[in-house]
Chains A and B, each alone.
Chain A
Amino acid sequence: MSVNQQAHTGPPYGQPQPGYQGYQQPAYGQSLPGAPQAQYGAYNGPMPGYQQPAPPQGYFPSLGFPSKGSPVSLNSDTSSLAPNFIGSLRAPPTSGAPPPASGASHPSGPLAYNQFEHGDVQNGIPASAAPVQRPPASQPFLPGSAPTPVSQISTFQQYGPPPASVQQLRNHMAGMTIGSTAASAPPPAGLGYGVGPSSYPPTTGAPRPPAMPGPPLPGQTVAGPPSSQPNHVSSPPPPSTMAGLHPGPPMSGLHGPPPPTHPPQPGYPMQQNGSFGQIRGPQPNYGGAYPGAPNYGSPPGPPPPPKRLDPDSIPSPQLNELPPQQKPRHRIDPDAIPSPIQVIEDDRNNRGSEPFVTGVRGQVPPLVTTNFLVKDQGNASPRYIRCTSYNIPCTSDMAKQSQVPLAAVIKPLATLPPEETLPYLVDHGESGPVRCNRCKAYMCPFMQFIEGGRRFQCCFCSCVTEVPPHYFQHLDHTGKRVDFYDRPELSLGSYEFLATVDYCKNNKFPSPPAFIFMIDVSYNAVKSGLVRLICEELKSLLDYLPREGNMEESAIRVGFVTYNKVLHFYNVKSSLAQPQMMVVSDVADMFVPLLDGFLVNVNESRTVIASLLDQIPEMFADTRETETVFAPVIQAGLEALKAAECAGKLFIFHTSLPIAEAPGKLKNRDDRKLINTDKEKTLFQPQTSFYNNLAKDCVAQGCCVDLFLFPNQYLDVATLGVVPYQTGGSIFKYAYFQLETDQYRFLNDLRRDVQKDVGFDAVMRVRTSTGIRATDFFGAFYMSNTTDVEMAGLDCDKTITVEFKHDDKLSEDSGALLQCALLYTSCAGQRRLRIHNLSLNCCTQLADLYRNCETDTLINYLAKYAYRGVLSSPVKTVRDALINQCAQILACYRKNCASPSSAGQLILPECMKLLPVYLNCVLKSDVLQPGPEVTTDDRAYIRQLVTSMDVAETNVFFYPRLLPLTKADVDSDSLPAAIRNSEERLSKGDIYLLENGLNIFVWVGVSVQQSLIQNLFGVSSFSQISNALSTLPVLENPFSKKVRSIVDMLQGQRSRYMKLIVVKQEDKLEMLFKHFLVEDKSLTGGASYVDFLCHMHKEIRQLLS
């Protein structure tokens, strides 16, 4: 593919339009170059569906290559516009922007979506109010834009016009106001813009190309086919403009609230001009054309200015003085800055309804917070892979310039909602999966069949490989294989191959895996009732071991070990009347004392196991042993698996720092004095390299370790976690475990952990198109070389973040492909390969990049990057680097994509407008900025936890969800609308729920109605509410039911059972709660959102100057 395409594209560039046209048309029709086209065709297949919905032909054109270009450009513009200004930015504008997008989409239908990437959507979305206005706005836009713009100019589009979108408006607004610090700012800005644009077009003249190329999203193009011709002409531009416009209007519209919206609108023209000269162009036209436009413009205009003024803070930055904290607060309206809630809401509203069809290259998926269905039509579902950007710079220079990290967050075994189908299992017979001869990429939808189907050309390395005879199939007239739809590996983005014996260790098919439960029976564990609890639970839990498909019983065998200073193995062979205990005290040189009878089938040995689990708590009831070992426990499990020649998982339940004499013995090295020193990193590093080596051995055997910790004091999670971490296991930590309050949480975690889907002995490799290369990996795994990610175990919650770097140029035509191949052993012992393919666009214009980014993913990457950084650098350095990188990203945007504006204006790309707030959350997180109550273990724990989080988890972890429970509609299933994480948004008459994936806080205001308290807590007054509640009482009234159902629903969404904490306002626990109100200034010195935004603005301006 890529090769062909490139060849083709080459020319196209020269003469974009013709080239494109030719391209597409022929491709569709029957272009010889066919190969590539054929593929497209394939894509088209799916695309069509999309397109169809898209009514306007105009779009199509845009969709076509050109269209893409154009749309993209539009989008970008919009996005760029959207970005906006800092303090000044009115929320409205931002919000306003989104609506347009959405609006646009509406009219255009799916097309719009497709074309415009998320970026647009998001932009649009922000404006909550949007919906109302949208329809109109969008409609007008579309029509208007389509026709007029088209004719007008493509160039324009690219440049500024489109961008003018909402965000721009906002930006402008902001800028205006801000800049205004000096009141006059706005006008000048506007002027400037105006000028800018005009100048731009010419200067950039070229611009159109960028736009054009950028867009060439396969998907779009595909869709475009018919319309493609038109596109060429100028259609592209229109769309772009459209897009741009859309945002704009929606903004206003969305904002429903007049004030906010207003500002944007006025800003609109202004801003657009300002930020993008181009926009200007269109806008004027539009302006006239759109009825709505005027409205927008005017209303917003006025309001914003005033507010903007407030943002004096901004000016101050200019002065290089940090704004006093208070000032900004006062002056910058918190509502005016980009709101995560708004963005999430908008995306949910705009994209939640339609299924996300993956046929199109480089599509930005809906946000993780949005519920959407995925239809796999050739690219992996975003549930499996999400990228920081869906449009990759063609060259490394560009990438460097933008500083936007290129990363994919991959969750290879992600759980799918029941409506979506699991990856199909493909069996290519004895010779194994068909692969490229050179790079060994697996057969996938992007492979190009040539020579009548006798050979295929690799889409990654271009090498031509013979099609094995048994796999041969004729091609149809479009160059597609006739069996295209019959073969998942040719038509889907995700599927599985059945691996042959060549893919197995020692060339032997693996045995079914085993679970070994290893229970600490030292004094603490016994006394707290933990041992009894675990034993009781295991009795029933063993019936729920993971099963493959519809198998009757699980193939997994189980074994039991208890330990304190020594290890006790149990022989639970079915033929025994009583289990036998074997003590191994040679902890220095661990081994497994028995083979037969240690790992058993649950059903066969049921009575013996039951007897054992009954006796364990009794046997150790009087223990006085307080010391424990740890490494030998893992070694024991490892040896057991080795002896049984299988992979498996160890569930270790551990309570204390292992100080008993044994390998891996640890000492208490907790030292809070190290915080904020150069030695702080040692707190995150393991004490000894012993565990690293052990982990390596575990990985080699496929021994995954899950660790449940119940510490009453420091137990060095940083060291204990090494093995679980590197083997792809999980750590669960229950500090100060109390049976009454924590057992439910622990048991839920345990149940889920035991039952969840898991693969063993896994190796993952990510292959990419020539030009980029996976260079860095984050997550819970071990790497013995630079390419293979090895995981002893990989469960459905584990995520690996992969960073890519350029090692060559990419081409816009062929885009960039990713293929993630995961070789693993299923829970029934079947060796399989799971393949995920994803195609991305490539761009030569930075604007395209910025328009197709996903901030949530970006934050996921940045957090992981930073969390790894603390291992080797002082925390402060890491924080500074983070800030610096983000400042550079934004500065680059400002410099290259946004239209010139006053330096006082903060302009954010639409797609990244939440970057500052989220980044601030990362910076304030416990790992990077610990408060006094955060223990060293907590930090290490969180550090490791975050490292394998997926995007949805990091999203809510860093920016917790805050729901006003009292606003919940007891009659519907829906959640109440979330609110921003700031104390000033809390009303003392309400009850709120805050969740971050680890905890759920229920915050009760002091003046909550007594009836509510009665209904929810079953007590008669505020003062009677107990802090110690770990669950909400079950009460038969609608409110209680509703709240509990909300809690249950949230619990269901998270991979871990969250700890529920009831916080009463003005109670001492409230301090803890406030820690999670991340938009506020934190007690530990973390900046408030507003302050941080100002700070970022300052940083950016420094960079720009």
Chain B
Amino acid sequence: MATYLEFIQQNEERDGVRFSWNVWPSSRLEATRMVVPLACLLTPLKERLDLPPVQYEPVLCSRPTCKAVLNPLCQVDYRAKLWACNFCFQRNQFPPAYAGISEVNQPAELMPQFSTIEYIVQRGPQTPLVFLYIVDTCLEEEDLQALKESLQMSLSLLPPDALVGLITFGRMVQVHELSCEGISKSYVFRGTKDLTAKQIQDMLGLSRPAVPMQQGRPLQTPEQPVISSRFLQPVHKIDMNLTDLLGELQRDPWPVTQGKRPLRSTGVALSIAVGLLEGTFPNTGARIMLFTGGPPTQGPGMVVGDELKTPIRSWHDIEKDNARFMKKATKHYETLANRSATNGHCIDIYACALDQTGLLEMKCCANLTGGHMVMGDSFNTSLFKQTFQRVFSKGYNGEFRMAFGAHLDVKTSRELKIAGAIGPCISLNAKGPCVSENELGVGGTSQWKICSLDPSTTLAIYFEVVNQHNAPIPQGGRGAVQFVTQYQHSSTQRRIRVTTIARNWADAQTQLQHIEAAFDQEAAAVLMARLGVYRAESEEGPDVLRWLDRQLIRLCQKFGQYNKDDPNSFRLSESFSLYPQFIFHLRRSPFLQVFNNSPDESSYYRHHFARQDLTQSLIMIQPILYAYSFHGPPEPVLLDSSSILPDRILLMDTFFQIVIYLGETIAQWQKAGYQDMPEYENFKHLLQAPLDDAQEILQTRFPMPRYVHTEHGGSQARFLLSKVNPSQTHNNLYAWGQESGAPILTDDVSLQVFMDHLKKLAVSSAS
């Protein structure tokens, strides 16, 4: 099995792809019996230090419906200078430039190690990136000040030729003109009125005489820069101007009477931003960055009224159908998100407030466009400040870790069809022969648009095996999938990354053990989780859980070894052994449980879950727990209440939080100040170790996790206690004795109970 693990890891490193099954069942019927669908996690821009892009265009299959890219799997007739497409079997002539190829003189794309290859293409003009700030001015003075500073700081992080714009909003929405001298000038819009893109462009004076322009080509007419320049200016030009402007930004001047929320026109502000970019830079990489300090309270997209006595909707309200603005607001933001996505612009949401800010309604803006969603308590926290700074972080080669306007095109060999994708993408509605009728996630297409992505952005792509049972695939046959990702690199180059992978087919009836062995339980857990979360967005929580449970039980039934009706006989092979545990934690995770979470928080968690790569996703599902003690080097320990011991320091990483927990004894020592005594320097080091490790995580993680430092009995210890498996609770405390761990006050079932039930159900002949 080690070989499979290695294989999987290798593949991931090379191609950024993890399949749930690495040997594919060869017929539709068998595939459905596998329970976990054939699917993969794809990280299209996975950082590859060893992958220098090639400077030419890819060679495409000439069949119009195929257009697959020449790849190492293709059969090549070097003499005839022909190649056969491995997807549609079309025979293609090599282009003239390839006249000199031979077995020994192969282009890169034919070499097996280049199953993933990146092309740089010179197509169209290079347009600078656009960053449009939308700033809420209904903030507390300190918050606004902090935000202003962050924004000013960010100017220095932008690529110098990037265009920036500023929109502020409160009761009104102001689009600031950046090129003016003397009087500062802004265009003001009413915060209560939705405007069409055309209206917005007219009102901003952006409409120009109807010059026919090619699609996808930002206009090059000479006056074009002039027109848009009023609102979007190269950073290097108006750096000072904008810094001053931001500095003078005042809180929204409209009076807020007691008992009212400030009137916040987030919906209109966003609409104007979308309209502005739509009119000026369609199909160009652009980030709309929304900074908001509270819920939209008026106009289209309002989430809650301005009466403070009416609280913002909770899950309870939503279940009771009591959230009167939710549907309308969601619709508004969805429309915007779709428009924005269509134009290739992404929307980031930075929401910092103690109460909810309407992320539930606005989530699609970030979800559909690949934008970031950041949630914090205040702009005046390092959580926000550093997260924001990290948006502009640079990769190993000094390039921004962001890319724009990606098209992902998936091609499959004919035994496979594409069921759908889940991730920060929208469908491009490209119907084709390889599109399945059954949808999983965003389906019905073989192409998706990802407006913004970074090296960790990961999509789940689901397939369907369509080969009929009675038309077996010849032994040793391989199925192939090709991912073609075209995108705008942060350097504004257009690039195409092509990943072609192939897996063996196996007959499930005869070769089940191969299939079983090639099961990637981590990928499967994440893929199933994505499906679950995707469903949870639209279905009632209990239904999703039930579905998950049923899938799990069926999987156990299929792959477990047991005697009927004898739970104790139940065994799972190694390649499945962790899977139930993942599902157990998934069931308890905030992605599926809304209890104790606000709708905004749920949306926030789900947002990140739907885009992180496998490792991060797994952390989210099952947080990592490290223990630090004098008994040995730091070690990962079970995420279980039994791991909570008095003489341990625990470091938990849930992706969203980093919790450092001092055991009871440790906490007492610390209080006693031993760490300051030279003779107890080792204690000092012990205290320091988790901090350093945490720092490491903090430094790379995006968004910046909430950093919690607590101790036994501390109120913040709840972050830890809510995550660990409640193996010891007040219910079974005495049964488990005192010697280890800490009891959790909860009625949740523990993993042990869960497993017992699972076994019982799996072996039951009734189900």
- Of the 9-residue stretches B184-192, B219-227, B410-418, B690-698, which lies at the interface with chain A? B184-192
User: By the criterion CB–CB under 8 Å, are B195 and A597 in contact?
Assistant: no
A641 CB, min distance to chain B CBs, angstroms: 16
- B730 sits at the interface (CB 8 A): no
Kindly supply a per-residue 1/0 record for chain A positions 303-345, scoring 1 wherever the CB is within 8 Å of any chain B CB and 0 otherwise: 0000000000000000000000000000000000000000000
Of the residues B184, B205, B253, contact of A596 by C-beta under 8 Å? B253
- B398 touches A (CB below 8 Å): no
A590 → chain B, closest Cβ, in Å? 9
Given contacts A585-B202, A595-B255, contact A578 B187 (CB under 8 A): no
The answer to whether A595 and B254 touch across the interface, beta carbons within 8 angstroms, is yes
Q: How many residues of B contact A (CB 8 A)?
A: 22
A584: chain B residues within 8 A (beta carbon): 187-189
| A residues near B189, Cβ cutoff 8 Å | 584, 586
Known: A569-B188, A585-B187. A615 touches B203 (CB 8 A): no
Least Cβ distance of A887 to chain B in Å? Answer: 59
A581→B181 CA distance, assembly (Å): 12
Whole-angstrom distance between the alpha carbons of A585 and B230 in the complex?
15
* A589 / chain B contacts, CB cutoff of 8 Å: 190, 193
Assess A594 versus B183: contact at CB under 8 Å? Given A569-B188, A582-B188, A586-B203. Answer: no
Say whether A579 contacts B188, CB under 8 Å.
no
Q: Which residue of B lies closest to A567 (CB)?
A: B188
Give the chain A neighbours of B710 by CB distance below 8 A: none
Distance between B273 CB and nearest chain A CB, rounded to angstroms: 16
Q: Are A566 and B203 in contact (CB under 8 A)?
A: yes
Q: Which residue of A lies closest to B205 (CB)?
A: A585
User: Chain A contacts of B199 at CB under 8 A?
Assistant: 586, 588
Q: Cβ of B253 and Cβ of A615 under 8 Å apart?
A: no
A593-621 contact mask (Cβ, 8 Å, vs B): 1 or 0: 11111000000000000001001001100
Please report the C-alpha to C-alpha distance between residue A582 and residue B204 in the assembled complex, in whole angstroms: 12
With A583-B187, A584-B188, A586-B189: A595-B182 Cβ-Cβ less than 8 Å: no
Complex alpha-carbon distance, A583 and B183, angstroms: 12
Residue pair A582, B186 in contact (C-beta under 8 Å) = yes
Closest to A616 in B: B183
Considering only residues 553-612 of chain B, those with a C-beta below 8 Å from chain A are none
- A585 near B203 with CB under 8 A, answer yes
Q: Given A581-B183, A585-B203, answer yes or no on A593-B188 (Cβ-Cβ < 8 Å).
A: yes
> Within B166-212, which residues are at the interface with A (CB < 8 Å)?
172, 174, 177, 182-190, 193, 195, 199, 202-205
A residues less than 8 Å from B253 (CB atoms): 594-597
**A618 to B183 alpha-carbon distance, docked (Å):** 11
- Complex CA gap A595/B174 in Å reads 14
A581 touches B185 (CB 8 A): yes
The docked-state distance in angstroms from the alpha carbon of A211 to that of B205 is: 77
Cβ < 8 Å to A, chain B residues 82-105: none
- A586-B195 in contact given A566-B203, A593-B174 (Cβ < 8 Å): yes
Choose from A581, A586, A591, A618 the contact partner of B186 (Cβ within 8 Å).
A581
For B183, list chain A residues within 8 Å (CB).
578-581, 612, 615, 619
Among residues of B, the one whose C-beta sits closest to the C-beta of A569 is B188
Which residues of A sit under 8 angstroms from B190, Cβ to Cβ?
586, 589, 591
What's the nearest-Cβ distance from chain B to residue A345, in Å? 60
Expressed in whole angstroms, the minimum distance between the Cβ of A581 and any Cβ of chain B is 4
Query: In the bound complex, do residue A578 and residue B205 qualify as a contact, i.e. CB atoms below 8 Å apart?
Result: no
Tell me the minimal C-beta distance from B221 to chain A in angstroms.
18
Compute how far the CA of A588 lies from the CA of B199 in the bound complex, rounded to whole angstroms.
Answer: 10
- A579 contacts which chain B residues (CB < 8 A)? 183
**Interface residue from A566, A585, A593 paired with B172 (Cβ < 8 Å):** A593
> In chain A, what residue has the closest Cβ to B203?
A585
| Minimum CB–CB distance for A283 against chain B, Å | 81
User: A578 to chain B: which residues have CB within 8 Å?
Assistant: 182-184
Q: How far is the CB of B284 from chain A (nearest CB, A)?
A: 24
Interface bits A555-591 vs B (CB < 8 Å: 1, else 0): 0000000000010010000000011111111101101
The chain B residue with its CB closest to the CB of A612 is B183
1/0 per residue, CB under 8 A from B, across A617-628: the answer is: 011000000000
- Give Cα A588 to B193, complex, Å: 11
**B100 vs chain A, min Cβ distance (A):** 60
Q: In the complex the two chains form, what is the Cα distance from A162 to B596 in whole Å?
A: 105
> Which bucket holds chain A's interface residue count?
20 to 34
Nearest residue (CB) in B for A570 is B183
Bound Cα distance from A539 to B725, whole angstroms: 76
Taking CB atoms, residues of chain B closer than 8 Å to A597 are: 253
Provide the bound-state CA to CA distance between A615 and B254, in Å. Answer: 26
Q: Do B182 and A615 touch across chains, with their CB atoms under 8 A apart?
A: yes
In angstroms, Cα B254 to Cα A593, docked, is: 10
- Name B255's closest neighbour in chain A (CB-CB): A595
User: Which residues of the other chain, A, contact B177 by a CB distance below 8 angstroms?
Assistant: 583
Q: Interface 1/0s, chain B 444-457, versus A by CB < 8 A?
A: 00000000000000
For residue A588, which residue of chain B has the nearest CB?
Answer: B199
In the complex, chain B residues whose CB is within 8 Å of the CB of A615? 182-183
Report how far A595 CA is from B199 CA in the complex, Å.
25
Cβ < 8 Å to B, chain A residues 273-328 = none
Question: Can you name the residue of chain A whose Cβ is closest to the Cβ of B174?
Answer: A582
Q: Mark B715-738, 1 if CB is under 8 A from A, else 0.
A: 000000000000000000000000
Residues of chain B lying within 8 A (CB to CB) of residue A569 = 188
| A-side contacts of B186, CB under 8 Å | 580-583
B185 in complex: contacting residue of A583, A588, A594, CB < 8 Å: A583
B contact residues around A618 at 8 Å (CB): 182
Assembled-state Cα–Cα distance A916/B204 (Å): 61
Give Cα A588 to B186, complex, Å: 18
Residues of B with C-beta under 8 A to A586 = 189-190, 193, 195, 199, 203
Q: How far is the CA of A475 from the CA of B199 in the complex (A)?
A: 73
Q: How far is the CB of A643 from chain B (nearest CB, A)?
A: 9
Query: Shortest Cβ distance from A557 into chain B, in angstroms?
Result: 16
Chain A residue at minimum C-beta to C-beta distance from B190:
A591
CB-CB < 8 A to A594: which residues of B? Answer: 172, 188, 253
Q: Which residues of A contact B187 (CB under 8 A)?
A: 582-585
Q: How far, in whole Å, are A436 and B183 apart by their CA atoms in the complex?
A: 58
Residues of chain A with a CB closer than 8 A to B254's CB: 595-596
Does B184 contact A580, Cβ atoms closer than 8 Å? yes
Select from chain A the residue with minimum beta-carbon distance to B187. A583
Alpha-carbon distance A595/B171, docked complex (angstroms): 11
Q: Which residues of B contact A612 (CB under 8 A)?
A: 183
Q: Mark B244-265, 1 if CB is under 8 A from A, else 0.
A: 0000000001110000000000
Q: How far is the CB of A789 from chain B (nearest CB, A)?
A: 34
Cα–Cα distance between A588 and B189 once the two chains are bound (Å) = 11
Query: A224 to B597, alpha carbons, bound, how many Å?
Result: 97
For B255, the chain A residues whose CB sits under 8 A away are: 595
Complexed CA–CA distance, A569 and B174 (Å): 12
Q: Closest CB-CB distance, B296 to chain A, in whole Å?
A: 18
Q: Among B187, B188, B203, B254, find the residue whose CB has the most chain A CB atoms closer than 10 A.
A: B188
Question: Complex: how many Å from CA A593 to CA B252?
Answer: 11
B-side contacts of A582, CB under 8 Å: 174, 185-188
Complexed CA–CA distance, A437 and B702 (Å): 78
List A contacts of B185 (CB < 8 A): 580-583
Q: A593-B174, A595-B253 are in contact. Are A583 and B184 (CB under 8 A)?
A: no
Find A585's partner among B182, B184, B193, B204 (CB 8 Å cutoff).
B204
Q: List 23 A-B contacts (CB under 8 A).
A: A566-B205, A578-B183, A578-B184, A579-B183, A581-B183, A581-B184, A582-B185, A582-B186, A582-B188, A583-B186, A583-B187, A584-B187, A585-B187, A585-B202, A585-B205, A586-B195, A586-B203, A589-B190, A589-B193, A594-B172, A595-B254, A596-B254, A612-B183
Binding site for B on A (CB under 8 A): 566, 569, 578-586, 588-589, 591, 593-597, 612, 615, 618-619
Closest 7 CB pairs of A and B: A585-B203, A593-B188, A596-B253, A583-B187, A581-B185, A591-B190, A582-B188
| Additional pairs, 17, CB under 8 Å, beyond known A580-B186, A583-B177, A594-B253 | A578-B183, A578-B184, A580-B184, A580-B185, A582-B186, A582-B187, A583-B186, A584-B187, A584-B189, A586-B190, A586-B199, A586-B203, A589-B190, A593-B172, A596-B253, A597-B253, A619-B182
